[in-house]
């Protein structure tokens, strides 16, 4: 443990700044008197802090409403947090689709867009598509690129802290790609790259099925399953960013790959061929015995992978997303089997954000980054909850 410093006056100033900013974001447009009451700070302290925040462009004096101006001779000054002082971008780079969301500093989404991309597209082509989507979204939302404070990106693969994809077999040319660095060229603000399932877990906790739970496993269910976990409300990346990469688990049992499990012929399916996969499920519904057996094998595998995560982590809630979440009859067997084999079975819910989960989580990570800067002192003074 590092050495503690005693009652440091500059620390106090920072604490007070964060306190005022926090109160401002919560209230509508408070007066100095309101802020004094909300924060417990003295009026001169609040005034000093407000001046500093106005200088930094984070707070503005709000214009009094007409009625108010008339009623009182000289209305009290009111202040507001300038959500437009900066913008954030959340980006998904997937096998079939790239998507982007833009928001102000309050995280409210003010623009969105997406484009299809071929699963066999090269890394360069895929990144070019990403740039087009981002340019479109910014233009339509009227947000100048220079006003961006942070960009979050969610993508399949194990991502190093510097934004390099250590391993990403789902997309051509992805393994070894310095993704953060490549995207960084287009922006002056920080670019944060995160594994897609991790981003989706953050999103469901922010505004999806996991809003009320801090211990969550999110499963991106598909032929190459991935997972993200929140522990105590915080993303668990693992020591090397590889936590939740359960796709390799079946290899240990010397068992078949999901592509083989779901195949109704002797040939395995292509891992990203969603059309072929969908057809198997359609055939199963129509009563085709071979397809039904394939679906059964696939679901058993998914259950096994999820159970491994649940036994290791003991989450309160499992959220299932990804295309396989849309399949009828995935959730019930998952619940049944978890109840049978887990000592404390978790709740199981479907993703609420669906297709938007990854980009939404990437946006939240960008927002976290900016808030950490704004409220840097908070996390050192109050626990994160």
Q: Which residues bind a second copy (CB under 8 A)?
A: 1-7, 12, 15-16, 18-19, 22-23, 38-41, 45, 158, 166-167, 215, 227, 229, 231, 236-246, 248-249, 251-253, 303-304, 307-309, 311-316, 337, 340-344, 346, 378-385
Q: How far is the CB of 50 from a second copy (least distance, A)?
A: 14
By C-beta, is 105 or 130 nearer to a second copy?
105
Other residues' Cβ atoms within 10 Å of the Cβ of residue 347 = 15
- For 94, the token pair is 């997937």
Nearest CA-CA partner of 265 in 282, 254, 281, 280: 280
Angstrom distance (rounded) from CA 169 to CA 213: 31
> Shortest gap between Cβ of 364 and a second copy (angstroms)?
15
**In 3-state terms, what secondary structure has residue 187?**
coil
Which has the closest alpha carbon to 81: 139, 18, 146? Answer: 18
**Nearest distance from residue 231's CB to a second copy, in Å?**
6
Outline where the chain has alpha helix (H). 9-26, 32-39, 43-55, 66-71, 123-141, 179-184, 196-207, 249-252, 258-261, 274-285, 289-313, 331-341, 357-374, 378-381
Taking the least distance from each CB to a second copy, the nearer of 23 and 348 is 23
Closest to a second copy by CB, 130 or 378: 378
Cβ proximity to a second copy: between 203 and 307 the closer is 307
Query: CB 20 → a second copy: shortest distance, Å?
Result: 9
Q: How far is the CB of 375 from a second copy (least distance, A)?
A: 9
Shortest gap between Cβ of 348 and a second copy (angstroms)? 14
Nearer to a second copy, 26 or 75 (CB): 26
Q: Shortest approach of a second copy to residue 2 CB, angstroms?
A: 6
CB atoms within 10 A of CB 78: 19
Closer to a second copy at the Cβ: 255 or 274?
Answer: 255
Q: Torsion-angle region of residue 221: left (phi > 0), alpha (psi -120 to 50) or beta? A: beta
Nearest to a second copy of 240, 329 (CB atom): 240
Give the span between the Cα atoms of 177 and 11, in whole angstroms: 40
């Amino acid at each position: 443990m590092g050495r503690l410093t005693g009652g440091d006056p500059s620390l106090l100033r920072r604490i007070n700044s964060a306190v005022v900013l926090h109160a401002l974001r919560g209230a509508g447009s408070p007066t100095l008197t309101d802020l004094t009451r909300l924060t417990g700070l003295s009026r001169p302290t609040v005034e000093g802090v407000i001046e500093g925040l106005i200088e930094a462009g984070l707070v503005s004096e709000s214009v009094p409403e007409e009625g108010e101006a008339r009623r009182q001779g000289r209305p009290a000054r009111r202040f507001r947090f300038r959500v437009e002082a900066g913008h954030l971008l959340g980006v998904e780079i997937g096998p079939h689709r790239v998507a982007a969301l833009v928001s102000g500093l309050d995280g409210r989404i003010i623009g969105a867009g997406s484009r299809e991309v071929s699963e066999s597209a090269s890394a360069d082509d895929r990144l070019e598509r990403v740039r087009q989507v981002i340019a479109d979204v910014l233009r339509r939302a009227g947000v100048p690129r220079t006003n961006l404070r942070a960009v979050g990106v969610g993508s399949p693969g194990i991502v190093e802290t510097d934004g390099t994809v250590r391993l990403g077999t789902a997309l051509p040319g992805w393994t070894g790609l310095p993704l953060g660095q490549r995207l960084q060229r287009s922006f002056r603000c920080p670019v944060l790259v995160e594994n897609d399932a991790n981003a989706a877990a953050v999103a469901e906790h922010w505004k999806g099925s996991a809003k009320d739970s801090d211990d969550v496993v999110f499963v991106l269910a598909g032929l190459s399953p991935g997972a993200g976990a929140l522990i105590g409300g915080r993303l668990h990346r693992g020591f090397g960013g590889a936590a939740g990469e359960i796709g390799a688990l079946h290899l240990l049992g010397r068992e078949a790959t999901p592509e083989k499990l779901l195949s109704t012929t002797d040939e395995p399916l292509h891992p990203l061929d969603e059309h072929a996969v969908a057809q198997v499920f359609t055939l199963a519904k129509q009563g085709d015995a071979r397809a039904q057996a394939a679906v059964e094998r696939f679901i058993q595998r998914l259950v096994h992978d999820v159970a491994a995560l649940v036994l290791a982590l003991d989450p309160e809630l499992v959220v299932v997303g990804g295309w396989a979440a849309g399949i009828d009859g995935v959730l019930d067997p998952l619940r049944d089997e978890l109840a049978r084999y887990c000592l404390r079975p978790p709740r199981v819910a479907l993703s609420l954000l669906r297709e938007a989960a990854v980009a939404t989580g990437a946006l939240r990570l960008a927002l976290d980054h900016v808030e950490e800067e704004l409220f840097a002192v908070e996390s050192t003074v109050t626990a994160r909850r």
